[in-house]
Amino acid sequence: MLLSGKKTAVWVMLGLLLVLTACGSKSIKEQETTATSAPVQQTEVSAEDKQDTEQENSEAQTRVVQDEFGDVEIPANPKRVAAIYLEDYLTVLNVEPIVQWYHPWWGKQDYLNLDVPLFDMTGSIESLLEAKPDIIIVDGSVDAAKYEIYSKVAPTYRLKEEILLDPEAILSTIADVLGIPDQATTAMEHYNQVMNDTKQKLQAAVGNETVAVLRLEVGDNSLIMFSEDNRYIGNIYHQMGLTAAPLAKSMEAFNELLSEEVLPELEADHIFILTSDGGWDTEDNKDAISWMENSLWKNVPALKNGQVYYVDRTHWQSGAIKANLMKAEDLLKYLVK
């Protein structure tokens, strides 16, 4: 009986051990389940973090391009763009500049109808710094010294000298710098169509009649002539097919002062004239017009035949895309009857 009691006790102890083992196994199983379930929640959070990180990396990404002065590191997707005196190209690309070029003597390019802060070219660079540009794009007016100053504000891209007379190349380059080349392609298709249509209509209307473009220097009572290859005016000859007056064709400089002795030699059938400052309705410009009409140039064919056209300086003194389209409208308005 005693032996039987001992066996019974052993079996009871074994039973208790099995129960405890089962409970322990269950507890371990629950811990394992909890441990394996925790990383699932962490994975979901990590995916969100990863997405945010990728976005931050994308925004911070840069690339190296070559401009007039060498290699420059620029943002891959700049958002805040300052294009000094190149705002026309930004508007064509549907990009709003963060500032607009301004000069106290010349004003600004009013034809763009921009509502952004002005950057006074004669003032402090601080105003540009306050605008916080991601990138600055500049043209041939910026030399190496100015380039260094701009570069301290933000990564600066200076257009290459070789393309400054080619609005299509300028637009394409700016679009590439901003990472939106397709928008340039669409804009140029429309632009080239307008240029070709304008050329055909002008050829039919005036043929080889000669054209000159002058600027009336307000206050100086003098006239400046733009050459056939002038950066701002040359497109009316090269793209729209007009024939430059002999003086404009023979000029070596982009523009020259016309002395009163030379004025009678201005053999132009049509003259387009803009002011150096302000509109045609200002008192200063009215006085300048009076001087001009009483000067020695009254025997110029265009003046004798009533074919002098007073145009707006802000888009005529620009060779950019939108400005050229507006010049085409003026040419059709005055020359195609």
Share of the chain above pLDDT 70, in %: 78
| Residue 167 tokens, joined | 């609005």
Two tokens at 266?
A: 């201005």
| CA distance readout (Å), 21 to 14, 18, 27, 31, 267 | 10, 5, 10, 15, 114
- Digit-coded pLDDT (tens) for 117-156: 999 999 889 989 999 999 999 999 999 999 999 999 999 9
**Is 100:113 a contact under the CB 8 Å cutoff?**
no
Q: Which residues have CB under 8 Å from 248's CB, separation 6+?
A: 212, 213, 225, 226, 227, 228, 268
Per the DSSP assignment, residues forming a β-bridge with 222 are 217
Q: Can you tell me the mean pLDDT for 287-301?
A: 72
Q: Please give the model's pTM, rounded to 2 decimal places.
A: 0.78
Task: Provide the residue ranges of all domains of the chain, joining segments of one domain with +.
Answer: 62-185, 200-335
| Least confident residue range of 77-81, 168-172, 245-249, 256-260 | 256-260
Computed over every residue of the chain, the mean pLDDT equals 82
For domain 62-185, give the fold.
Rossmann fold (3.40.50)
Q: What is the pLDDT of residue 296?
A: 62
Q: What's the confidence (pLDDT) of residue 221?
A: 73
Q: Which pLDDT value is given to residue 295?
A: 64
CA distances from 18 to 12, 23, 25, 92, 96 (A): 10, 8, 10, 83, 78
Query: pLDDT of 63-94, one tens digit each?
Result: 999 999 999 999 999 999 999 999 999 999 99
Do 62-185 and 200-335 have matching folds?
A: yes
Cα angle, residue 155 at apex, residues 74 and 108 outer, rounded to 5°: 120
Q: What is the pLDDT of residue 265?
A: 80
Looking at per-residue confidence, does 123 or 24 come out higher? 123
> In terms of pLDDT, which residue wins out, 87 or 41?
87
**Considering only 31-35, 51-55, 87-91, 141-145, which range has the smallest mean pLDDT?**
31-35
For 156-196, write each residue's pLDDT tens digit. Answer: 999 999 999 899 999 999 999 999 999 999 999 999 999 99
Q: What is the pLDDT of residue 83?
A: 98
pLDDT band at 218 (very low <50, low <70, confident <90, very high): confident
Nearest alpha carbon to residue 251 among 289, 283, 224: 224
Please name the fold of domain 200-335: Rossmann fold (3.40.50)
pLDDT for 284 beyond 60: yes
Task: Give me the helix-helix angle, 167-178 and 181-206, nearest 10°.
Answer: 170
**What is residue 32's predicted lDDT score, i.e. its pLDDT?**
35
